[in-house]
Structure 1
Amino acid sequence: MAETTQIPPDKVRVLLATNYRLGHTEYDIILNIGERAARLADLFTSSGVTCGAFLTAYNPRGAIQSDEANGRGHAELAAMLRDQALRSIEGSGSDEGTEWPAEKSYFALGLQLHAAKQIGGRFDQNAIFRVGLDAVRKLIPLR
């Protein structure tokens, strides 16, 4: 990660180790940092987009929140994506090697970087994940 960040190194390590899953079926697409996701590239092509962003409203600033607070944020994020007429796929991010709970998320197809950063900032997130035409997940720090 070339950008400087105020995110503590231990949180950056967790963000990088986390697997991000698009969908909740046997056809899920799993995004690993630095690895090309061929199925996501195919989805970009069939959807007529060249990028997307993985967004969550869970646990702002990496601080555990109640299930109720996380649920409200997740619903607000879903409404925001709908209002912007963005096709999104619900998913989750989790690191099976830690006790950190899985975080519900959305992958917004076609969401440009500037808009993705604004949404991540609106939900007080440390970072977002962006995927460009190369179909490789990249960490974008927001602090």
Structure 2
Amino acid sequence: MLSDSAIPQDVIQAYLETHYHVHGNTPATLKVGEANPVLSALHEAAGVACSAYITACNPFSEEQEPARNAELQQALAETLRQRGLRYIDGIGQHPANGWPGEASYLVLGLGLDDAKALGTQLGQNAIVWSGADAVPRLILLR
């Protein structure tokens, strides 16, 4: 499936290797394909069965100026507030490739279809989504 994407394979590989840090009262580092007990506890505490890790930064992996990324993230936060969704600040950071970390949100209770639609609306190549098993999965959008 990954090879059927319009996203270059090296970019997909970078997404798979990225550490998706969640801040807040219960910090965690999410890694694609690895069950995360802290994420499971966050789901349980929030009374949800899923979550999405999403950013508005650098649409289509085209690096933007920091001020532009801040504007995009602020607009995303407003969208999440308007929808009544709970979210926790975070930052997605590859451990070694030098790409600047991207401000992100862990959005609690955001179902897969809604998460994909939001990521597409934001011009993102991919999102990270976790179901009831608390295993983050890379979801390609192109």
Deviations 1:71-95 (A, max 9, x none): 1100000000000000100101001
Give the unaligned 5+ runs of structure 1.
none
Matched, 1:95 2:127: no
Deviation string, structure 1 residues 76-130 (Cα, Å, up to 9, x no partner): 0000000000010010100120110000000100001111111111110000010
- Aligned equivalent of 1:10: 10
Give how far 1:69 is off. 1.0
Secondary structure of 2:4's aligned partner: coil
Asked if the contact 2:3–2:9 (Cα under 8 Å) also holds between the matched residues in 1, the reply is no
How far apart are the structure 2 equivalents of 1:44 and 1:24? Answer: 14
How big is the alpha-carbon RMSD for the aligned residues of Structure 1 and Structure 2?
Answer: 1.4
> For residues 7 and 86 of structure 1, what CA distance do their matches in structure 2 show?
29
Residue aligning to 1:34: 33
Secondary structure class of the residue paired with 1:118:
helix
1:19 aligned partner: 19
Residue 140 of structure 1 corresponds to: 139
Aligned partners of 2:53 and 2:105 also within 8 Å: yes
Q: Match for 2:101: what amino acid?
A: A
7-16 or 39-48: which moved more?
39-48
- DSSP-derived class of the 2:91 partner: strand
The one-letter amino acid paired with 2:51 is G
Distance 2:92 2:119 in 1: 15
Segments of 4+ in structure 1 off by > 6 A? none
Aligned match of 1:130: 129
Q: Distance in 2 between matches of 1:69 and 1:39?
A: 32
Query: Match of 2:23, as an amino acid?
Result: G
The residue type equivalent to 2:109 in the other structure is G
Aligned length in residues: 142
In percent, how many aligned pairs have the same letter?
39
Does structure 1 retain, via aligned residues, the 8 Å contact 2:49–2:109? yes
TM-score by length of 2: 0.95
CA change 1:97–1:24 in 2 (3 A) is farther
